[in-house]
Amino acid sequence: MKVTESYDGAIQRTIYTPQEIAAAIERLAARIASDFRGQPLLLLGVLKGALYVVSDLARAIARTSDGPSEVIVDYLCVSSYGNETRSSGEVRLLKDASESVTGRNVVIVEDIIDNGLTLEYLRALLDERKPAVLRSCVLFDKPYRRRVDIPLDYVGLECPDEFVVGYGLDYQELFRNLPSLAQLQPWVFHS
């Protein structure tokens, strides 16, 4: 696909503005900061999609007045969608975390949950390593096609049953840097 002009012509509608996303991040940060007040916290972002969520969330937690004693940010990288709009159902670990999670307070940070297989895979992987606490934070919850019942501790915004891009989410690696969450024009998928 070629996007030769700006992203504007490719966007059918904005679902959440950057301001609405920022407000949701602040709410998530307040809850996480309160739950881990005075304790060390490891935020584990799931790349690539969570690149903005985890960086904005970490800084929002730092702005809270009485939060964790320390926040460490780490990443792992998985993929299940490849270049498709539907999940393959097979989750692949492309890069593991650098930090040990054993005995630590860990919050997995995801941009979106759809069928839930990615988070199920990650929770199982990390549970085996015996963290002290393992929680899940998801900015966009798409509950319509869930295939597994996954506990979500922190949820930001409900996402409609559409293929969405922006704020970390891509279509064929494009649109991740769109500051809003948006639905694409149908022509984008055929070009």
**Which residue lies nearest ligand PRP, judged by its C-beta?**
49
CB of 111 to ligand PRP, least distance (A): 5
CB of 179 to ligand PRP, least distance (A): 17
The two structure tokens encoding residue 151? 């506990």
The two structure tokens encoding residue 3? 């996007």
Q: Are 24 and 139 in contact (CB under 8 A)?
A: yes
**Site for ligand PRP, rule CB under 6 A:** 46, 48-49, 79-81, 87, 110-118, 170
Q: Identify which of residues 31 and 146 has a Cβ nearer to ligand PRP in the complex.
A: 146
Catalytic residues: 114
CB of 48 to ligand PRP, least distance (A): 4
Q: Identify which of residues 33 and 178 has a Cβ nearer to ligand PRP in the complex.
A: 178
Q: Identify which of residues 81 and 99 has a Cβ nearer to ligand PRP in the complex.
A: 81
What Cα–Cα distance (Å) separates residue 55 from each residue in 7, 17, 144, 177, 183?
A: 23, 18, 27, 14, 23
**Residues 6 or more apart from 45 whose CB is under 8 A from it?**
51, 53, 54, 55, 73, 74, 75, 76, 109
- Measured distance CA(86)–CA(126) in Å, rounded: 25
